[in-house]
Every structure is written in structure tokens, then in C-alpha cells.
Structure 1
Amino acid sequence: MGTAHDYLVVNALGELDNPNAAHSSAAAGKLIQSSDDLTIDARTLADAHASGLTAVNITLGYTMGDMPPYEHTLHEIEVWDGIIRDNPADLLKVRTVADIHRARQERRVGVIYGFQNAVAIGEDLGRIDTFDRLGVRVIQLTYNQANHIGDGSMAPENRGLTPFGRQVVEGLNDSRIMVDLSHSGERTCLEAAEISRQPVSINHTGCRALTDLPRNKTDEELRLVASRGGFVGIYFMPFLHASGHASAEDVVEHIDHAVNVCGEDAVGIGTDGPVTSIDDLDAYRARLAEHVALRAAAGVGAAGERSDTFPFVVDLRGVDQFHELVRLLELRGYRSERIEKILGKNFLDYAERIWAA
């Protein structure tokens, strides 16, 4: 039986954070709106290394809230540049695929800068070039709600891309930044995949054919993205089961379905969570209703978010999550070459198609 340490592991969407720290968003039961709410301490770094993680696409910049999107995003980039500068033995900023290989060779964790909402672009396409120069490698077009670029997964009209949104996709192509369609509405996803000159990604999602929730993608979306050389990452989230109580087996089921739809060269993982696990689940459960209510009040919640379900998979979390996934995939009969692809190689191959000059 292998472990995650046998593979290069790239989390296409995750977090570096110690959610047990006193001021963390998880501990306080509040929305994560700023990287200032995160705690990247000795435990965070030790857990990341122990998990086998090679690189992770983290969320920075404006996602929600009442702060000015562009200015807040520039501040967030400065914050993360400082975090990486303060931890040179453990972290490495990723701009190229070579940086991910370097992180593995030097036993560091590669940090990929990504957005989960493109609203910080505003009406100025020139900002895309600014973000590119600052090292942003992934930009998700929408969060759950609609923005001026397109409709998110919870926007009832499902209107697709706006005319400006089409220009944004073109601008991201010009800057060779990943176009991430996670959280997007179905028409937004299909239209962006169709018009993009470069392959697009859905860095963290599930399969709607297995669990019919808006945050999961239809087979049509998955197939189109994969057919054009794109990438699909499966998350470790409650949306993988209709009850909201998703298990590790559900994660494997969604990976397996995605492989059957997309082919084994297009599927990976994007957990949508940290490596360090919450220690006191009972205390966290007590704050969950408040957290879900805050998201709903802010208009950013998704169908399937409930106060009685955790926003993660309980038996696939913490430092063993990638090791356990390897074990479960082996039990499913996956050979090591396919596991290697899912754990990180497929993301690397996709990144090579986008980031290479």
C-alpha cells in the first residue's frame, strides 16, 4: 500500500490555515473574508509537510464582503508575499510548473495564488495584466452569486457570460492565467469553455449526476471542459451526498464518475479545505448554524449548506487525508499510474498547457 509521500500532490483548491487558532475564522464562527483571518503557524506548516502536500492553490483577494475589491485584493497579495517571505524554508511562491517541481525537490510547499471571484477586475481589463505580474495564476470567474462577468451557480436566471465576461476570458487567455469555472452557473461554464482559446478548469466541484446540487457540475460541463484539454478537481465537501453528510467513499465515487466522464487524464483533487483539522468538532458544531446563517444573509451560500452538516468530509480530513485517499483508490483497483495522475500529475500537465510561454 502506498502513501501520499509516494506521489507529487497538488491540491487544486485548498487552504493553509490552523483553524484551531484563537482568532481564526473557524474558531470564531465567522466568514473568511481576508487572509488576515488565517493562521499559518508551525502546526500549519508541519501538518502540510506530514500530509505529503506538494503545492496548493490558495484563495486570496476579494471573494465577498463590503471591502473595495481591487484594493483589498492588492492587500491580500501583499499579505501572502509576506507570509512566504517569512517562511522561506517551508513555502515557495508558484509561478510556473517548474516551481512546483522545485517545491517537491526542496521539501517546501508550493503556494499558487488564485481568486474565487473575478470581481476585483472591475471594468478595467488592464488589471488582469497587473494580477499576472503580481503572480496570480488562477482566476475563478464567479462565486455562487452573479457578478458583472457571469452568473454563479446560485443565480436563478442561469444567464451565462456577460459581454464583458467574454472579454475577461480573452484577457485571461492573453495573460495565460487559468480560467477557473468552479462555482459558476451551467451556462457560464459551458460558454466560457466554448469561447476560451485555452483549456479551462473546474478546480473544485462534484458530479451532479451523482448528487443533484447546483455546486456540482453536469456531465455535459465536465465532458466539454475535459474534451478541450481542461482539468476537473473533485472536492471533499458535503455536496457529494444528498444528505449533506458526505464520506470518504463519496469522494471516491465522484472521482470515479469524473474519470469515467472525462478520462483519467483530466481529473484531480481540489479539496476546498485545509490540511490541519479542527480539533474540537463539538464546539465547531455549535457555531455552525451562525456560520451558515451569515453566508445566507450575505447572499453567498449554496444549496446543500445546512447547520447540521460540516463543510468538509469528516473521515477525510487532517494530515492523513491524502494518504487515506491513496488507500481508498488502491482498494477501488486504481493502479499507481492513475493515482499519480489524480493526486497531482493531471493538474501539472494542465498547468503546463496554460502557464508555459
Structure 2
Amino acid sequence: MDRRAFIQFAGVAGTALAFPAVGRAAEPAVRAGNARSLYIDAQGALDGFEPDGKGSYRPTARLIEAAKQRRIDVVSMTIAEVGNGPDRFRGAMESIAAYDRIVAEQPGLLVKVETAADLAKAREPGRIGVIYNFQDTTALEADPSKATMFGTLGVKVIQLTYNKRNLAGDGCLESANAGLSDFGREAIAEIEKARILLDLSHSGQRTVAEGIAAATRPPAITHSGCRALVDFPRNMHDAEMRALAQKGGVFGIYLMPFLRAKGQPGGEDLIRHLDHAVNICGEDHVGIGTDNPFLGYEINDETRKQQREFYEDRANKGIAAPGEAADVFNLVEGYNNAARYDRLAADLRGRGWSSARVDKVLGDNFARLFAQVWEA
């Protein structure tokens, strides 16, 4: 399974890179349990599970403590493989069943989020809301009506394309930039009919533009960056960012290497992209989709070796995007643990952001969008 097909939620349904967290600085103060703010990672992964010796998995003490501290309240996690390949439908069904089992076994910790009311439950200290998403439409296997079935099973976000071309349209690494196919338009209609949020991350420029135009409900770009700042294909142009906001959608900034032209990005890179996104989209249409594991990555010789192997595998498959590198981790320095949202909130306020704007970008905007699409 690709790393983006879920960074080890208990190691179920495949193998992926998953590293435990590493602290980088003194952790910021813990939010009060009754704090109004709601932290949402619109594209992440919930690591921090270990085998229980009985054929299932249990949460680690560190994950439990992070949940009690309300470090991140809700994580939207990818539960199906990305890219073209065999048995994508069957694999998605098996993944849903596997994750449902773990959620059912941890009722005091995990909340499967399918409604706005479930988002409210995730505010409780000690609980983490999980949203099921697909980062590709390949699980539909040429039948867009399958979106309704997946929606019934709790998949609440479906991304139209991954980096390369699929039946729906061109991904961001396709040089042809051919845009949406007829199937893609049918898929969008079925996704919206099922009250699933349409995600246009990883798509090519024309696919994004045409997808926004075709959408009748507000769509999202859950994890990307600003192409005006760094000209990589995984980042989005201002025109599409603006069109997304005008449609009522939300643009999520990731914590990924694409935030700078070369090397490991840091906090200044992240805040620069957030500032630009707010300037283009408005503060009501920007959020965060880290594309990181909840607890973060440990950096040591072994994980450096794994990163090289991971990158080489993606490069050999043709899905490694410009900006990825064998020696660059998919993280932003200074925000590589479960306290990243609290630290970012403090950093943004220190740059003059109002508390209201910080709350919007760190969760409220995506909460509004989810409720609008899922329940309208």
C-alpha cells in the first residue's frame, strides 16, 4: 500500500512507512478540554497502534495521551490504495471492514465521523474523530454509481485523481493536462449525489478547473500548496484556488516538501503558503491537510534508509512528484509531532493572526464544509 493509502493505522490492510513521533521542542500548552476550537487534519493518518497479541491492535500510551490533550481532534485518513491497478474495489471493501473493526474495538478513543454531530463528539478530551477518504476514484472500477455504496459504508471524501491519469481525468504529473473525462463528470455527479465531499488534490490544472466548474456542491482541495510561491505540479495556481473559494470550497495546505523549492521545509515556508492562500481565497476558505502521521516521524539512520527506499519505489512507479527526494522527509521542521496544531496556532497569533482566523484555518472551515456537503 502506498504511504498515502494510510500511514499505518495499526498496520492493517497493507504495509506502509510509519514512524513514531519525535519531539523537537518543548510542547505548547494543552488546550482546555472545553476549548471551543476544533482542530481538523483534512488529510492525515492515525499512527500509534501496536499489536495486542490477540490478532488485533491497541493504542499506544502516547496516542492516548495526545487524545486527552486534544492535540488534533479529527483526522481524515486514506483507506484505499491509490493509482491504477487490479482489485481496487475489493481492496477498498476489505480496508473499510478492517478499519471499522478497529474503531469498534476502541469506542472510548475513536469516533467514526459521518455527520456534524460526530464532529462534536470528537471535541471530547480523550477521543479522536476519524474520517474515511479515498485519494483516487479507481475503487469505483468504471462504475461511478459505486460512490453511493461507499458513502453508505462511511466514506465521506473521495479524491478524483491521483498523480497520474485514471478514468476520471489527468493527475498533476500527466504532461497532456487533458482535464476531465466523461466518466469523471459522471463520477463527480455520483459523488455529490451520495453527499460525499469531492476532493481535487493531486489533479492536473485542467482537471481541477473543470472539476470545480462541474461541481454543484462546494468541493475541496484538502492538501496542496501555492504554485505562485513554488512552481511544483503538486501545488495549485491562484486561478483554481480563487475559483474553489468562490464555489464555497476549502483549500488545505499540507506539511510537505513542496512548500519550498529544495530541501526540508520549515515553519517560515508553511506560514508563507498559509498567508498567500488566505490572501487569494479569504480566511473562510483555507484549512490544513498535513499529509503527515498524527504522532510524526522519527528521524534516525533506519528511517533515512526507509525514506530512500520509499522514494526510489515511487520514482520507479512514476508517481514521485517533483519536489520529492530521497533525503527529504514529508514533514515541516518544527511541526513533527502531535502538538503541531497548538504550536502553529501560537506561531500564527505571533504573526498577527486573530484568534478567530486561526480557529477557522485549523478546523472550523473544514467543519463547516463537511456539514454543508454531508447534510445539505
Equivalent-residue separation in structure 1 for 2:270 and 2:187 (angstroms): 32
Equivalent-residue separation in structure 1 for 2:231 and 2:190 (angstroms): 33
Query: Is 2:222 aligned against 1:203?
Result: yes
Equivalent-residue separation in structure 2 for 1:124 and 1:40 (angstroms): 37
RMSD: 2.1
Corresponding residue number in structure 2 for 1:162: 181
Equivalent-residue separation in structure 1 for 2:344 and 2:264 (angstroms): 18
Equivalent-residue separation in structure 1 for 2:104 and 2:260 (angstroms): 40
Corresponding residue number in structure 1 for 2:42: 12
Q: Cα distance, 1:245 vs. partner?
A: 1.5
Gaps of 5+ in 2: 1-27
Equivalent-residue separation in structure 1 for 2:224 and 2:285 (angstroms): 13
Distance 1:89 1:120, change over 3 A: same
Q: Cα distance, 1:66 vs. partner?
A: 4.8
Letter in 1 for 2:66: D
Equivalent-residue separation in structure 2 for 1:139 and 1:340 (angstroms): 25
Query: Is 2:87 aligned against 1:68?
Result: yes
1:153-193 deviation per Cα after TM superposition (whole angstroms, max 9, x unaligned): 11111111111100000111111110000101110000000
1:301-338 deviation per Cα after TM superposition (whole angstroms, max 9, x unaligned): 11111112111112211022111101110111001111
Equivalent-residue separation in structure 2 for 1:260 and 1:2 (angstroms): 29
Q: Cα distance, 1:346 vs. partner?
A: 0.4
Equivalent-residue separation in structure 2 for 1:275 and 1:262 (angstroms): 27
Corresponding residue number in structure 2 for 1:329: 348
Letter in 2 for 1:125: P
Stretches of 4+ aligned residues off by more than 3 angstroms: 1-6, 38-51, 64-67
Letter in 2 for 1:351: F
Corresponding residue number in structure 1 for 2:77: 58
The structure richer in helix per residue is 1
Corresponding residue number in structure 1 for 2:210: 191
1:220-252 deviation per Cα after TM superposition (whole angstroms, max 9, x unaligned): 110000011001110011100001321012111
Please state whether the residue corresponding to 2:123 is helix, strand or coil: helix
> Which shifted more, 286-295 or 215-224?
286-295
Alignment of 1:135-174 (within 5 A): 135-174=154-193
Please state whether the residue corresponding to 1:249 is helix, strand or coil: helix
Q: Cα distance, 1:299 vs. partner?
A: 2.2
> TM-score, normalised on structure 1?
0.91
Equivalent-residue separation in structure 1 for 2:31 and 2:202 (angstroms): 28
Identity, % of aligned positions: 39
Equivalent-residue separation in structure 2 for 1:233 and 1:290 (angstroms): 28
Letter in 2 for 1:71: R
Contact 1:51/1:275 (<8 A) preserved: no
Q: Cα distance, 1:78 vs. partner?
A: 0.5
Corresponding residue number in structure 2 for 1:47: 66
Equivalent-residue separation in structure 2 for 1:306 and 1:207 (angstroms): 19
1:29-64 deviation per Cα after TM superposition (whole angstroms, max 9, x unaligned): xxxxxxx9x985443343344352111100111214
Distance 1:105 1:51, change over 3 A: closer
Equivalent-residue separation in structure 1 for 2:62 and 2:125 (angstroms): 19
Distance 1:156 1:39, change over 3 A: farther
Contact 1:53/1:109 (<8 A) preserved: yes
Query: Is 2:355 aligned against 1:350?
Result: no
Corresponding residue number in structure 2 for 1:318: 337
Equivalent-residue separation in structure 1 for 2:61 and 2:136 (angstroms): 29
Q: Cα distance, 1:277 vs. partner?
A: 2.4
Letter in 2 for 1:291: F
| Residue from 97, 105, 112 that aligns with 2:116 | 97
Equivalent-residue separation in structure 2 for 1:300 and 1:49 (angstroms): 37
Contact 1:202/1:231 (<8 A) preserved: yes
Contact 1:264/1:341 (<8 A) preserved: yes
Letter in 1 for 2:290: T
Please state whether the residue corresponding to 1:155 is helix, strand or coil: coil
> TM-score, normalised on structure 2?
0.86
Query: Is 2:299 aligned against 1:276?
Result: no
1:187-216 deviation per Cα after TM superposition (whole angstroms, max 9, x unaligned): 000000001111110000100011110000
Corresponding residue number in structure 2 for 1:27: none
Q: Cα distance, 1:3 vs. partner?
A: 5.8
Query: Is 2:99 aligned against 1:113?
Result: no
Distance 1:197 1:66, change over 3 A: closer
Equivalent-residue separation in structure 2 for 1:277 and 1:122 (angstroms): 33
Contact 1:16/1:58 (<8 A) preserved: yes
Contact 1:50/1:319 (<8 A) preserved: no
